[in-house]
Amino acid sequence: MNKLKKAVMAVTAAVASAALTITAGAEEAGGALAASKAVTGTKALLGDISNILLVVAPLVGTACIVYFAVRHGAADEMDQKKWKQRIIVSAVSIVVAVVASALINVLVSYYQ
């Protein structure tokens, strides 16, 4: 779960970085690049990814928390600690995903 979270954050950071590089170059090019399909498509793509992340991450995270809570209740003492830790990781992942989505929205809004 931790590796997946790191991978998602790395991909999000890479996409945001690429989009900022493209849009920053577009503003300096006098508007010709800003009107290109590559730049406008990248802005739209980031906006769509952000909106999907804002909807899907809490739904999947909540489903994971419910599943982990059920398993926590049915586990013995040794396994309860593991399931409790997974519940905490899921809750933190939801918060990180929502914050990443908001950050992407803020960054994209500066270039519109």
pTM over 0.85: no
Phi, psi of 87 (to 5 degrees): -65, -45
pLDDT at site 62: 94
pLDDT at site 31: 61
pLDDT at site 106: 85
What is the C-alpha to C-alpha distance for residues 39 and 33, in angstroms, rounded to an integer? Answer: 7
Give the CA radius of gyration of the chain. 19
Token pair for 110: 């500066």
What is the C-alpha to C-alpha distance for residues 14 and 43, in angstroms, rounded to an integer? Answer: 14
pLDDT at site 2: 66
The answer to whether the beta carbons of residues 21 and 41 sit under 8 Å apart is no
Q: What is the mean pLDDT of each run of 10 residues along the chain (112 residues)?
A: 67 64 54 68 83 90 94 91 93 92 84 67
pLDDT at site 84: 93
What is the C-alpha to C-alpha distance for residues 112 and 109, in angstroms, rounded to an integer? Answer: 5
pLDDT at site 33: 61
CA angle 96, 100, 81 (to 5 degrees): 10
What DSSP state is assigned to residue 76? Answer: -
